Amino acid sequence: MQQHVASTLKLCIFLFLKQSFCIDPASYEVCAPKPCGNDGRYINFPFFTLGPRGSLCGYPGFEVQCHDNGSLVLPISGKDYLVKDIYYNSSSMRLVTAQNITCPSGLTNLTLDPDRFRLYDESVTGEVVVLMNCSKELPENLSRYRIGSCDPDILLVMLSDDRNLGMGKEHCDHVVVAPVQVDYYAGRQQMEVVDGENYVEVMMKGFMMEWIAPYCMECKESGGRCGSNGYDLQCFCPWGDQIHARSCPTASKPSSFISFRSKLQISSL
């Protein structure tokens, strides 16, 4: 034990003399990508889970929760959405509402912060319309859209370009819209009719959304990990002594730093 401490100290002094690496790499360590669940999803900048370090490893507005059961949840204007897939290389993800939509009477419109999120364009994203508080006397043409599991309440569901939407609105008071992915089908024209029978399947496929955050790629490619001070991007470097604004300085040191770090870890055991 004594020896380990001594060698750590020596290493540290040596590094001080070289005016470089004897620093606390805590931010870099803390901001390692965090796996969530077994599906290969992980939490990385700009997303973060709230912990003692706050939004250090992420960017404001991108807080997520990783539950013990492996579900990754993004709350948007007070409603939870499950992150099914996340693509850091294209800043996009597939979301599914976390609500039980067997009877979607509690569904609300999705309200996005336009500075943070936007839906994929309409060649990929369609809209399902849920009509609530409908009158008891429905015309025959609307009966297929009725959601049976809401009985005795009368709710209808259809696509926003369904030719019966106008008629539906005449018979119902309350309209809620939810994005759905339409590119599962051959094309927008051939898209199936969404109705009371199949809407759960359609909605559970989720929808694609892009996020807007400072660009981390430059930092990542230079060997760093991104975070923020609450306003600006910060690049945490494994071998640097500073926080950098965009990327880590090009240094030929990373391999020696890694051995330094492993020594440090061994000696602190």
Judged by the rule CB under 6 A, the positions of this chain that interact with ligand NAG are: 67, 69, 71, 87, 89-90, 100, 102, 109, 132-133, 141, 167, 173-177
CB of 241 to ligand NAG, least distance (A): 33
The smaller minimum CB distance to ligand NAG, of residues 33 and 254, is found at 33
Q: Considering the complex, what minimum distance in angstroms separates the CB of residue 235 from ligand NAG?
A: 21
Residue closer to ligand NAG, measured from CB, 156 or 237:
156
- State in angstroms the smallest separation of the CB of 141 from ligand NAG: 4
- The DSSP letter of residue 92 is E
Element (H, E) at 180: strand 172-181
Min CB(87)–ligand NAG separation in Å: 5
Helix, strand, coil percentages, rounded to 5, for the chain: 25, 25, 50
Q: What CA–CA distances, in Å, run from 14 to 9, 22, 89, 198, 254?
A: 8, 9, 39, 68, 17
Residue 32 corresponds to which tokens in the numbers above? Answer: 């390692």
Cα distance between residue 94 and residue 131, in whole Å? 25
DSSP-H helix ranges across 18-118: 26-30
Q: Closest approach of Cβ 174 to ligand NAG, in Å?
A: 4
Contact (CB, 8 A) for 235 and 245: yes
Gap between the Cα atoms of 71 and 83, Å rounded: 8
CB of 33 to ligand NAG, least distance (A): 14
CA proximity to 185, closest of 199, 160, 163, 202: 202
Tell me whether residue 18 or residue 67 sits nearer to ligand NAG (CB atom).
67
**CA-based max dimension of the chain:** 86
Rounded Cα gap, residues 243 and 201, in angstroms:
47
Q: What pairs with residue 234 in β-bridges?
A: 227
- Please state whether beta strands 72-76 and 79-87 pair in parallel, antiparallel, or not at all (unpaired): antiparallel
Residue 218 or 243 with smaller CB distance to ligand NAG: 218
Using the minimum distance from each CB to ligand NAG, give the nearer residue, 49 or 71: 71
* Residue (29 or 201) nearer to ligand NAG, CB: 201
Of 2 and 100, nearer to ligand NAG (C-beta) is 100
- Smallest gap from Cβ 211 to ligand NAG, in A, equals 14
Euclidean distance between CA atoms 152 and 136, whole angstroms? 9
**Least gap, CB of 210 to ligand NAG (angstroms):** 11
Compare residues 138 and 167 and give the one whose CB is closer to ligand NAG.
Answer: 167
Q: Is the peptide bond before 60 cis (omega within 30 degrees of 0)?
A: no
